[in-house]
Copies of this chain bind each other. A is one copy, B any other.
Amino acid sequence: MRDYYSITELTREFGISTRTLRFYEDEGLIKPVRRGRTRLYRPSDRHLVRQILRGRSIGFSIAEIREIIEVYKAPPGEIGQLKLMLSRISEKQQDLRQKRRDLEDTLEELSRAEEACVERLAELGVTT
């Protein structure tokens, strides 16, 4: 396990630009440490980036990703805070389950389209 990653190492690993990483930092999503002015990304930062990109991939906005990141953080000490956190988590889970349904439905439609193509090809005497 590496101690630190440079900004370009992460851009290469994740296929994003330095601008994107700095943008996420401006938005308060990640906080790499500094040596002088240079950013050093810890494994935890790297992991966070991965999570951010996953969120982005499934259509969450930066604001929503920020909310999700909030709940990834260590649970707070106070009971009220903990319960609030639980309800936020539950909200996000519902969002994700809805997205999952939408995704499965889309996959099904694609399968239907696929089958129609295969059948049409069979009619034309082509074996797939």
Interface residues of A (CB under 8 A from B): 51, 54-60, 68, 71-72, 74-75, 77, 79, 82-83, 85-86, 89-90, 92-93, 96-100, 102-103, 105-107, 109-111, 113-114, 116-118, 120-121, 124, 126, 128
Contact = CB atoms under 8 A, between A and B. Distances in A.
B121 A82 contact: yes
A86 B117 CA distance: 7
A68 to B, nearest CB: 7
B120 A75 contact: yes
B109 A72 contact: yes
Given A75-B116, A75-B117, A89-B114, A103 B68 contact: no
Nearest to A96: B107
Contacts of A128: 86
Contact of A92 (B55, B99, B105, B110): B110
Contacts of A117: 75, 82, 85-86, 89
A106 B59 contact: no
